[in-house]
């Protein structure tokens, strides 16, 4: 089945220009202890506090360094961490392009691996992947799905700790077998139309999400994505 984005007001801008994403892992108990109408401001201020040098370079300026983590200082403030995808991944368009490449190659990937990648990227890439209902799915991942609660306004991702734990199980299946994606990607992906223009860029984005989920899961934290 083709990839079909959810046609809602919240999702329509994702395929447009100029949307960037800030991804944070968060102590969920700390976040939930604050009123819900303060969550976005609280998270935005937290992300900005560890990324001031990046923002000082100007709006829309990509990070000059590769993927990296930013953590608050002093450690007593350590209720969150911010992941910077680097030059590929700071824009939502990169994630959307990666999901389109996945659509192009998934029919040429072994079923068990295909099922695991489907279920790993579906909640993270915000596309509403219709092929999640694929009746031919196989392997350990085929019997588990992660359904995230609706993201609050101005959030692109809202992933509680229990969902992060399930996603980590999928990443454990995916992350050790990424080489199985190289041949189908190089043969069938339409990679020339975005910054996801190589297999290394594609798996780099997946590894970034794997790192985010892994860091959250080992702390018992959740993950949020903010419009920025």
What's the pTM? 0.84
- What tens digit of pLDDT does each residue of 99-114 get? 889 989 999 999 889 8
**Alpha carbon distance 117, 15 (integer Å):** 21
By CB neighbour count within 10 A (0-12 exposed, 13-18 middle, 19+ buried), where does 74 fall?
exposed
Give the range among 3-17, 46-60, 95-109, 203-217 with minimum mean pLDDT. 3-17
- What tens digit of pLDDT does each residue of 36-66 get? 999 999 999 999 888 665 555 555 555 556 7
Neighbours of 146 (CB within 10 A): 19
Residue 17 has pLDDT above 50, yes or no: no
Nearest Cα to Cα of residue 205 among 87, 104, 126, 58: 87
Torsion angle, alpha carbons of 196, 202, 208, 214, to 10: 150
């Amino acid at each position: 089945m083709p990839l079909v984005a959810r046609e809602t007001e919240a999702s329509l801008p994702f395929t447009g220009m100029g949307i960037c994403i800030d991804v944070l892992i968060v102590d969920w108990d700390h976040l939930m202890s604050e009123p819900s109408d303060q969550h976005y401001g609280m998270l935005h201020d937290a992300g900005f506090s560890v990324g001031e040098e990046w923002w000082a370079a100007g709006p829309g300026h990509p990070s000059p360094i590769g993927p990296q983590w930013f953590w608050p200082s002093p450690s007593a403030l350590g209720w969150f961490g911010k992941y910077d995808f680097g030059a590929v991944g700071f824009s939502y368009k990169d994630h959307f392009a990666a999901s389109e490449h996945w659509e192009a190659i998934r029919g040429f990937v072994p079923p068990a691996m295909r099922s695991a990648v489907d279920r790993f990227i579906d909640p993270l890439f915000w596309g509403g992947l219709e092929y999640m209902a694929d009746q031919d799915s196989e392997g350990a991942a085929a019997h588990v799905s992660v359904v995230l609660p609706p993201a609050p306004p101005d959030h692109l991702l809202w992933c509680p700790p229990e969902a992060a734990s399930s996603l980590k199980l999928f990443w454990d299946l995916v992350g050790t077998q990424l080489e199985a994606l190289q041949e189908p990607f190089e043969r069938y992906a339409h990679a020339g139309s975005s910054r996801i223009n190589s297999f290394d860029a594609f798996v780099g984005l997946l590894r970034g999400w794997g790192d985010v989920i892994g860091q959250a899961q080992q702390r018992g934290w959740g993950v949020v994505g903010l419009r920025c």
